Amino acid sequence: MKGLLIMEKSLLYPVTNAYREDQKLDGLWDFKFDPASEGEKNGWTEGLADPIEMPVPASFNDFFTDKDAREYTGDFWYVKKVFIPKYFEGKQIGLRFGAATHRATVYVNGQKIRSHEGGFLPFTADITGATKLGEENVVAVKINNELHRDALPAGDTMTLKNGKKMAKPFFDFYNYSGLNRSVHLIAIPKDNVYDYSTTYEVSDEQATVHYTVQTDAQADVKVSLADEAGNVVATATGSTGDLVVKNPTLWQVRDAYLYTIKIQLLENGTVVDAYSDEIGLRTIEIQGHQILVNHKPVYLKGFGRHEDSIYAGRAFDLNVERRDLNLMKWIGANSYRSSHYPYDEQAYKFADREGILITDEVPAVGFKMAAASFLGGLDQSFFDGDWIDELYKKHIDQVKDMIKRDKNHPSVLAWSLCNEPDTSSESAVPYFTKLFNDSADLDPEKRPRTFTLNEDDTFETSKCLKFPDFYLLNRYPGWYHKWGYEISDGEAGLRAELDEWKNSDIDKPIVFSEYGADTEPGLHKLPSIMWSEEYQIELLEMFNRVFDSYDFIRGEQPWNLADFQTVEGNMRVNGNKKGIFTRDRQPKAAAFYLRKRWNSLPLSYKSGK
Ligand code: BDP
């Protein structure tokens, strides 16, 4: 059966056009927990007895009023009857899951189709051979949300004395689970475009788009590029080629312009498939201390974020995303990090249109034994663990999928391959050597690759400083150490570390990718006290003084755009409160302070222009 697996290889975002069909299967699905993992045995692949109705996309957790359900860890099922139309005949038919947290197996009409691991990236199940056309088909998905050290994001799953399982994340965000992103029913031609990529050369007078189209079909390829008014400005033929645009309008930071690339496959002169997408003409480079977009230096202002909101947990919600982007524009931000996992594709489409730069992060988080402190006495390095080989396979797999999925977005500035790994022991070096070698050629644009360095991984202690193309520093003086009235010592310590970078021969930019103070909205105190809105501003002022004194600091992204949910614990009051905005997206006092600063800093800050 020619090409069936091609569909599963493709991560192109679904579209409807004359050749392709895309139907969203969002809405209510039947849902049921399966604590004894007996679903298959009990015939749940063909329907659930006494199901709960569950919205999709959503995390199941916060809908429940009882704690056992909210904290549920193990297998659970989603089932939906899906009508598959007759006119899909002759096409490849698939189910595309935007995100199933963390591992899933898909069944259609009782037949097992495929499994997938990784709760923050899409996958397609090719169901062509299992569907009944012109009828309702039963789609069943078994999901498992356990955390393990050999999986991303890393954690443990423990069993309580009462027999209930509990997720123990090695990371600071709630283990929201379920079908967190849309499910699509898609139909595409048997001979199809399964991927494409572009690289750019740009100047004010001319831009060249070098493109590559991937198809297994013996077909002719035609490509065109249209401007925002719909005028075709360049055409080319062949599966690789160049589109040359005279007097181009470049994609600029906070001043985006998108062209539409249209790819057609032709057999004997007849079009058999077409795929269109919006792209931006721009280049990205790191040169010395500078981050360059279209050969011009940019200074990053923005945030670390989370996909997190009330009720639906980690579900992608266009409404929240719209609000977040408006908040970012209002405050003068131009960038964010998709901490700590790749976000829904629609977030990147938004950012493409708004001219926002994204550091795209793979869900490699929790790779640090200190983060597993509840286990007690674990003094080994995370990378000495016997789970590392298995973890690496999943890690590089997800790096591959993230880059494959997101490479064509003009908004993607860089790839973050890990958050706060334990890099102060030598055992991290072989792991990172492999990670950086194996990912070197994945992005045709060769965008910069990096990872964030935790507080313990300093200029002196980290063994992995040679790997990143630029540095992301997560630093918490004034909060996790040297806090309150001691903050002046925190500032001195930060300056001492930065002086070491300054006096070294490292010639790469540093972006501060995390710093901040938990802040209870509405708590005011003069003089300030930790947790008050005044203290959050004082901490930001301290960091900003430091940023302004070092030329090689080329970006500031405080933690976090908004408050977000975490596990309960003695360090968290209903979640992490380091948001500059509350969880319902209203400003804390710090938002007005940052807005003033960021709107007065030019994009080219520190470049002398
Ligand atoms: C950093 C983590 C981030 C946490 C943050 C914090 O990267 O996920 O939420 O600390 O503690 O270490 O607020």
CB distance 558 to 300 below 8 Å: no
Superfamily of domain 21-189: Galactose-binding domain-like (2.60.120.260)
Which residue did the predictor score with more confidence, 471 or 378?
471
Candidate CATH numbers 3.40.50.1820, 2.60.40.10, 3.80.10.10, 3.90.79.10; the one for domain 193-279: 2.60.40.10
DSSP state of 490: H
Q: Is 196 helix (H, G, I), strand (E, B) or coil?
A: strand
- Domain 21-189 and domain 193-279 have a common topology: no
Which residue pairs, CB below 8 angstroms and at least 24 apart, start in 7-10?
Answer: 7/92, 7/94, 7/124, 7/126, 7/128, 7/188, 7/192, 7/194, 8/94, 8/114, 8/123, 8/124, 8/125, 8/126, 9/194, 9/195, 10/124, 10/192, 10/194, 10/195
Can you tell me the distance from the alpha carbon of 230 to that of 402, in angstroms, rounded to the nearest whole number? 30
- The two beta strands, 471-474 and 449-453, are parallel
Catalytic residue among 21, 514, 533, 534: 514
Tens digits of residue pLDDT in 233-245: 999 999 999 999 9
Share of the chain above pLDDT 90, in %: 95
Can you tell me the distance from the alpha carbon of 233 to that of 270, in angstroms, rounded to the nearest whole number? 23
With a cut of 60, say whether residue 523 has pLDDT above it.
yes
The finding on whether 514 has its CB within 6 A of some atom of ligand 1 is: yes
Closest CA to 96 of 196, 21, 190, 189: 21
The finding on whether 416 has its CB within 6 A of some atom of ligand 1 is: no
pLDDT confidence bin for 1, thresholds 50/70/90: very low
Q: Is 111 helix (H, G, I), strand (E, B) or coil?
A: strand
Averaged pLDDT, 505-528: 97
What does the block give as tokens for 471?
């540095």
Which residue did the predictor score with more confidence, 55 or 378?
55
Question: Is 117 one of the annotated active-site residues of the chain?
Answer: no
SS (H, E, C) 335-372: EEECCCCCCCHHHHHHHHHHCCEEEEECCCECCCHHHH
- The pLDDT of residue 381: 84
> Which residue lies with its CA nearest to atom 5 of ligand 1?
172
For the chain, what is the mean pLDDT? 96
Question: Is 40 one of the annotated active-site residues of the chain?
Answer: no
Averaged pLDDT, 90-105: 98
- The pLDDT of residue 423: 95
- The pLDDT of residue 158: 96
pLDDT confidence bin for 6, thresholds 50/70/90: confident
Ligand 1 midpoint to CA 172 (Å): 6
Q: Return the best residue to mutate from 455, 576, 577, 583 for the ligand 1 pocket (most ligand atoms within 8 A of CB).
A: 576
Domain ranges of the chain: 21-189, 193-279
- The pLDDT of residue 378: 58
Distances (CA, A) of 336 to 305, 347, 524, 560: 7, 11, 28, 10
> Between the CA atoms of 5, 9, 15 and 16, what dihedral angle is there, to the nearest 10 degrees?
-10
Catalytic residue among 345, 420, 491, 533: 420
C-alpha of 214 from chain center: 24
> Which residue lies with its CA nearest to atom 12 of ligand 1?
454
Ligand 1 midpoint to CA 88 (Å): 47
Can you tell me the distance from the alpha carbon of 298 to that of 607, in angstroms, rounded to the nearest whole number? 8
- The pLDDT of residue 376: 47
Averaged pLDDT, 341-358: 98
Given strand 21-24, what is the order of strands in its sheet? 21-24, 183-188, 92-97, 123-126
Tens digits of residue pLDDT in 145-157: 999 999 999 999 9
